[in-house]
Amino acid sequence: MQPTLSDETFCLILEYVRGKEALWNLLLSSQKLCELTKPFFYANAAFHPTIENLRCFLRAMELQHNGRHTELFVRTLIFYANDEPLEDTQLRLVNKILMKTTNLTSLSLVLPSPRPSLQFLEDATFSLSELSISVPDMDDNLVHFLEAQSQLKALRLDCSSQSKSSASHFRSPSFLNLQVLITTYSVFHQFFELRACVTHLTVLDLPYYTRPVGRNSFLDNIRVFSCHSYFGPTVLLKGVLFFPNLQWMEIRSSASIHEVFKGLCTVSEHIRNLRGVRFAYQEATPFLVSEAKKCFDALASLQFVEFCGELGCCQRWHRDSVAPTEIRWKSLGGSEWLFDWEKDVVEVDGDEILPDWLF
């Protein structure tokens, strides 16, 4: 059956289709829809950046559909490198791809050091809203590239150190639209003097000894802090003290929860806005519940403590409750901290606790 919508209107609708299954159904429905749908398979691309895969993708980008090259449809690119930096040949192919993707909005990439000159770092033709980049050090080209992404809303910057040969720092104004930041302690302080309105933060590698930090607007804006898996209780609590207006804290840790509760009580005067604590990998036990109740006594603002076991099973113990509330997050596992902690959860019966996406 021929579509009743104009080609332009139908393509605008396809911009919002994310599932490959829906695209396949449209592809098979008619020859006309097949031609219109085909290039949108490249809109959200994720693959291992082997030389063969990169060359195939590069060739596909040069194909034309209704007078438009495939490259114009690419919105998201994820190069699954398993945190392994790319070699020079791979990087040059990636560079060619990125110089063609003028409408790219989301990118995930691992870069090596040293690395060859990459044109996309110096002369990016796209404006990203999401970026995940892992790199051993920061140099002037990378800093320039990051600063050029004026529409960036979410940034994961995994950087072990800053280049000793570069004294470059982020300049103000930079990252004016940034809301979510996942980064390492080595570059964490570079954001302090910027006018970024980051509300959600993860610092990947807080050291045991942290430098003193004065009050600044960047730290005052943080409302949600997700703590990385290998933090110990002492390091966790030092991190919490950075953020005077913190409301929600997620702990992805196997450390002693008893020590965490004890520490939260100790620093209660400095975290007067804390409303919820979430233990991502810890099931509730009678002992932990009794420890949580001590936190309610020490923290007047605290509304609930959440324990999460396997397969998305979560229990929220609210202040003065005699039994937990079974809840399920609407988001996929691992990204819960980025969502609304009150509105993006649903209460469920015990038999309904498993998330729909598992089936």
Domain membership of residue 342 (yes or no) is no
The answer to whether position 321 is within a domain reads no
pTM for the full predicted model:
0.84
Are residue 24 and residue 86 in the same domain, yes or no?
Answer: no
Residues 62 and 133 both lie in one domain: yes
Q: What is the mean pLDDT of residues 118-147?
A: 89
Q: Is residue 329 part of a domain?
A: no
31 and 152 assigned to the same domain? no
Is 315 inside any structural domain?
no
Statement: residue 112 has pLDDT above 80? yes
Per the structure, the complete domain to which residue 6 belongs is given by 1-39
Residue 100's CB is within 10 A of a number of other CB atoms, namely: 19
The mean of the pLDDT values for the chain is 81
| pLDDT number for residue 162 | 57
Asked if the structure places residue 320 within a domain, the reply is no
Residue pLDDT, tens place only, 179-189: 999 998 888 88
- Are residues 108 and 153 located together in one domain of the fold? yes
Residue 275 lies in a domain: yes
Dump pLDDT digits (tens) for 330-355. Answer: 887 789 999 999 999 999 875 554 44
Residues 2 and 80 in one domain: no
CATH code of 68's domain: 3.80.10
**Quick check: helix, strand or coil at residue 218?**
helix
Does 89 lie in the same domain as 193?
yes
Are residues 204 and 301 located together in one domain of the fold?
yes
Question: What is the arithmetic mean of pLDDT over 30-49?
Answer: 76
**Omega of the bond prior to 85 within 30 degrees of 0, cis?**
no
- Report the domain count for the chain: 2
Residue 203 sits in the same domain as residue 149: yes
> Does some domain include residue 336?
no
> Does residue 265 share a domain with residue 231?
yes
Q: Which two tokens stand for residue 147?
A: 């600063």
- Tell me which of 28-37, 44-53, 129-138, 279-288 is least confident: 28-37
Distances from the Cα of 281 to the Cαs of 231, 233, 251, 325, 330, in angstroms?
13, 15, 8, 17, 18
Q: Are both 87 and 175 inside the same structural domain?
A: yes
The β-bridge relationship of strands 325-329 and 345-347 is antiparallel
Residue pair 279/296 in contact by the 8 Å Cβ criterion: no
Instruction: Give me the residue label for tokens 């994961």.
Output: 156
Contact 177, 150 (CB under 8 A): yes
pLDDT at position 213, please? 65
Residue 71 falls inside a structural domain: yes
Same domain? 145 vs 294 = yes
Minimum mean pLDDT range among 113-122, 132-141, 225-234:
225-234
Instruction: State residue 93's pLDDT score.
Output: 94
Helices (H), the chain: 7-14, 20-29, 31-37, 51-61, 88-100, 119-122, 140-148, 185-188, 217-221, 233-240, 257-266, 286-298
> Distance of alpha carbon 224 from its chain centroid, rounded?
13
5 and 62 housed in the same domain: no
